[in-house]
A and B are shown apart, each in its own frame.
Chain A
Amino acid sequence: AQKVTQAQTEISVVEKEDVTLDCVYETRDTTYYLFWYKQPPSGELVFLIRRNSFDEQNEISGRYSWNFQKSTSSFNFTITASQVVDSAVYFCALIRNYGQNFVFGPGTRLSVLP
């Protein structure tokens, strides 16, 4: 069975601090995809990144970066120089190769204080 764990329920930081959101996953598949989604207070989930299991290169997009480590089954997300607009719930998710069994983690609520 597939499972995604986000151990941090809530995180609070002060604006301009860096923050890392942890994601640990479980799967028996060798091919799978990992995702991060953002859910701001408005409620609509916004896609941030997709990573397939064969690509362990870290990725940076502006203030966002992702660290995928297959050896530890982790896909962590770092926001550099956080801003108030980053306040949201962030979900890590996992899907099997053929697009089935999409599983979301429980989410981490990030509060960035001015």
Chain B
Amino acid sequence: EAGVAQSPRYKIIEKRQSVAFWCNPISGHATLYWYQQILGQGPKLLIQFQNNGVVDDSQLPKDRFSAERLKGVDSTLKIQPAKLEDSAVYLCASSKIESGRLAYEQYFGPGTRLTVT
């Protein structure tokens, strides 16, 4: 079974530029998550999708971050314009639903390391 795929793996941009990250979850996983992990910290949930609907985006800085999940499969996360403090690893994860309930175990992709200069 293929894992969660993310691209690009690394990105360096200047502040005020825009950037987009892509995620392809494990086939059949209904739930998709985007996390921001700043160096030395635990991952922080940015947004959670179930199929193509948003379940939780309470910690997404909506003035500059946006995310969508097309047709309930792939997802993109965009930052526009980027700030220095956005430098972090952006992780995508997915999980399946068992017996109508979220299984909760999340499977993570390798992440995209963003550096904003």
**Tier of interface size on chain B:** 20 to 34
B25: interface (CB < 8 Å): no
Query: What CA separation (Å) do A11 and B95 show in the bound complex?
Result: 31
Q: Could you tell me if B104 and A104 are in contact, using CB atoms closer than 8 angstroms?
A: no
Query: A47 and B109 in contact (CB under 8 A), knowing A99-B31, A102-B48, A107-B42?
Result: no
Q: Which residues of B contact A99 (CB under 8 A)?
A: 31, 48, 55, 95, 101-102, 104
Query: A44 and B109 in contact (CB under 8 A), knowing A91-B42, A98-B102?
Result: yes
Which residue, A47, A91, A99, A105, has most C-beta atoms of chain B within 10 A?
A: A99
Q: How many residues of A contact B (CB 8 A)?
A: 24
Query: What CA separation (Å) do A50 and B102 show in the bound complex?
Result: 13
Residue of B95, B104, B111 touching A43 (CB-CB under 8 A): B111
A88-110 contacts to B, CB under 8 A, are 91, 93, 95, 98-107
Chain A minimum-CB-distance residue to B93: A45
Query: What CA separation (Å) do A99 and B111 show in the bound complex?
Result: 22
Q: Which residues of A contact B91 (CB under 8 A)?
A: 45
Q: Could you tell me if B89 and A43 are in contact, using CB atoms closer than 8 angstroms?
A: yes
Q: Which residues of A contact B44 (CB under 8 A)?
A: 104
B19: interface (CB < 8 Å): no
B105: interface (CB < 8 Å): yes
Query: What CA separation (Å) do A107 and B110 show in the bound complex?
Result: 18
Q: Could you tell me if A100 and B42 are in contact, using CB atoms closer than 8 angstroms?
A: no
Q: Could you tell me if A45 and B108 are in contact, using CB atoms closer than 8 angstroms?
A: yes
A64: interface (CB < 8 Å): no
Could you list some 10 contacts between A and B, CB below 8 A?
A4-B42, A44-B109, A47-B107, A91-B43, A99-B55, A99-B102, A100-B55, A101-B56, A104-B44, A106-B42
Chain A residues in the interface with B (C-beta under 8 A): 4, 33, 35, 37, 42-47, 50, 91, 93, 95, 98-107
A35-B105, A91-B43 provided; 13 other pairs, C-beta below 8 A? A33-B104, A43-B89, A43-B110, A45-B108, A47-B105, A50-B105, A99-B31, A100-B48, A100-B55, A101-B56, A102-B106, A103-B45, A106-B41
